[in-house]
Structure 1
């Protein structure tokens, strides 16, 4: 007789973090269709061609990375789960990554012409530095060990996304594109939970390794950070040199690379702290939203899963 199929029992929890994460993610469920993006059109019309180009490319890049996470990332992580509830949580994360990817298309549909949208997606499919990081992470998802896959996932969610997040957060800090930024804050809130949860699962496995195995994996991990950051420097120069924000974005990236390492239970690598990041961007992360009824489109926040103030503690359970 074949092995018995086991129903998932949420009344018998092996790991309390699974249940807590499931509840957190379902409480903060949201959809892009409830954000009135058209309210940002006045701001958009006043922005320069260089700014339009930047916004299009950063969101094109984020669309590609969220697609990678939803189509390959979570599938690879589900191959090595500790509990049935963990797979349920990863299913939730997989769906929300698809919501994130779709959200950028809603932004494009509101702000851009069809020709501009086609140009943005063509750029995302061919840009050397964007494709490098996507292919690097995807190769680990398909060929890495279970713990290496978790490292790649945390680096993607807590580090590599942030070269794109900088732009809407900067504009939010200057009271521009507020509804676009609302979506980004909702995505940020999700990613902070995703990164800490997968980082926690990594630490459980890491702590079971021998000292030699831990040392080898840490060397691999820090080599990967250096490689990804080197590529991210080139990507950031490509996107931000024209508008003059490059060095500020790189500081933000180093800060979030440290956050990714901390999610994995490791020591930070770079000297950059929150105090070194552009205060306008940090204020943008910390700005709360106005609430409204989930079933109306009045206002730009949610009562169901309110956007909360982001802080360093959001990166930890």
Structure 2
């Protein structure tokens, strides 16, 4: 397999064409003309991404502030541990998106990755925001330590961490592809048992502000996952020498292992939560893995999990192939922007 190290893309090289000759390791002037790019439909993806703009402190957390203390102990523990999980994934994702853009020789990829990085930063801020609304500063800080101290969480994140760091240390096309595999897993599967927990609470009229925030994050991640899957396929197509049975086996192996770790984590954090069906959750995790594999141009590996076993989740988040919902019009979600006239002043 290819072991030659990539160089970071030059900022401007006017003697090269505006339309890139390759996603990584190609030639481009660095000038972005959206009407003259190698993959024209990516402009629509860019527009969808920037159309999702939102800020954490626009979400009204007043009811959640009152409700958190009424949750069961298992619900409170799951709430904090899942926030801890999400924060350990989104903060590195900001950096990884920026690193991918540094090596991309297609300026459209650089721009799309810049938007993704910004959104991941907003996601990470949102976890600080929701925690500051419901627990003390000491509890907030303890929650953000979980990614460093909780052994189950450390085990779950170990291979993702190894691959992300391998890309930093050895920036080859192969490591970029492998990093995109883990990014697809992160955007399309790793988050989803956590998302499901918050939607489960909202389904029972609990912590609706938090679930609204999660809906926004989830909507962003759907778009991120879609673009990463496309970038993976395009990069593999441009580097056919890497499109081998050995590499495909690597992808399937790491998908299966990641599903096992996600199921272990879900059982650890959700098993005691009243009303959570863990068999249904296992099926949902496998369904999400199948979906990401299909998007990446690969075959499903869980033949019994082609359909979503948790269809009720559709009420809370957009589907890839569904009708886009205007979140400002979702009255049943009780969405409200905070201002000087609402939010914390309601207390």
* Alignment deviations for residues 3-57 of structure 1 (CA, whole Å, 9 cap, x no partner): 5464333343332233111111111111111111123233323211221111011
Asked if 1 retains the 8 angstrom alpha-carbon contact of 2:84 and 2:145, the reply is: no
Q: Cα RMSD between the aligned structures? A: 2.5
Which segments of structure 1 move beyond 6 Å, counting only runs of 4 or more?
none
Q: Quote the residue 2:224 is aligned against.
A: 194
Pairs within 5 Å for 1:145-224: 145-210=175-240, 213-224=243-254
TM-score, length basis structure 2? 0.77
Distance in structure 1 (CA, Å) of the matches to 2:31 and 2:107: 9
CA distance in 1, matches of 2:201, 2:58: 21
Q: CA deviation at 1:142?
A: 3.1
> How many residues end up aligned between the 2 structures?
294
| Whole-angstrom distance in 1 between the partners of 2:209 and 2:337 | 9
Q: Distance in 1 between matches of 2:33 and 2:327?
A: 38
Partner of residue 125, structure 1: 148
Paired residues of 2:59 and 2:337 also in contact (CA < 8 A): yes
Within the alignment, does 1:36 sit opposite 2:66 as a pair?
Answer: no
Task: Look up the SS of the partner of 1:269 in the other structure.
Answer: coil
State which of 251, 258, 264 in structure 1 corresponds to 2:283: 251
List per-residue Cα deviations over 1:213-238 (Å, max 9, x = no partner): 33221100011012112222221121
In the other structure, the counterpart of 1:262 is: 294
1:272 match: 305
Cα distance in 1 between the residues matched to 2:123 and 2:34? 27
Deviation, structure 1 residue 299: 4.2
| Aligned-partner Cα distance in 1 for 2:54–2:256 | 35
* In 2, Cα distance between equivalents of 1:290 and 1:153: 26
Q: Which residue of 2 aligns with 1:56?
A: 80
**Normalising by the residue count of structure 1, what TM-score does the alignment of the two structures yield?**
0.84
Larger Rg computed on CA atoms:
2
> What is the CA–CA distance in structure 2 between the aligned matches of 1:78 and 1:135, rounded to whole Å?
24
Which aligned pairs between 1:228-247 and structure 2 lie closer than 5 A?
228-243=258-273, 245=276, 246-247=278-279
Q: Identify the residue that residue 93 of structure 1 maps to in structure 2.
A: 116
Kindly state the Cα deviation for residue 149 of structure 1 after the two structures are TM-superposed. 1.4
Distance, in Å, in 1 between the alignment partners of 2:34 and 2:165 is: 30
Which one has the bigger helix percentage? 1
Q: 1:18 to 1:290 in 2, by over 3 A?
A: closer
Greater displacement, 22-31 / 173-182: 173-182
Gapped runs of 5+ residues in structure 1? Answer: 293-297, 303-317
